[in-house]
């Protein structure tokens, strides 16, 4: 977990989120491109903790979402 400082406009909603204000995660693609660290957070708690993943970890999360979404 991390609380890296990422500007609010840098976060985007996952395409696997339900889009109705329910289960929604966001990630910071520019931060990932700049640092190689993939940050994920709960859109309902934007000032809460952020999960920091490696590229492989993020790919695993996406694979899981595709299979179980």
Answer yes or no: is 1 within a domain.
Answer: no
Q: How confident is the model at residue 8 (pLDDT cuts 50, 70, 90)?
A: confident
Assign 22 a pLDDT band (cuts: 50, 70, 90). Answer: low
Q: How far apart are CA 58 and CA 69, in angstroms?
A: 15
| H/E stretch holding 5 | none
Banded model confidence at residue 5, pLDDT cuts 50, 70, 90:
confident
Does residue 23 sit within a domain?
yes
Is residue 3 one of the residues assigned to a domain?
no
* Domains held by the chain: number: 1
- Reported pTM: 0.77
Is residue 2 a part of any domain in this protein?
no
The Cα 27–Cα 42 span in angstroms is 9
Range of the domain at 50: 8-68
Gap between the Cα atoms of 59 and 41, Å rounded = 16
User: How far is 25 from 12, CA to CA, in rounded Å?
Assistant: 8
């Amino acid at each position: 977990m991390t609380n890296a400082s990422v500007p609010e406009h840098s976060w985007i909603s996952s395409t696997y989120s339900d889009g109705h204000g329910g289960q929604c995660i966001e990630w910071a693609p520019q931060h990932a491109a700049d640092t190689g660290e993939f940050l994920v957070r709960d859109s309902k708690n934007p000032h809460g903790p952020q999960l920091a993943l490696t590229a492989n970890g993020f790919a695993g999360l996406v694979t899981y979402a595709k299979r179980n979404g």
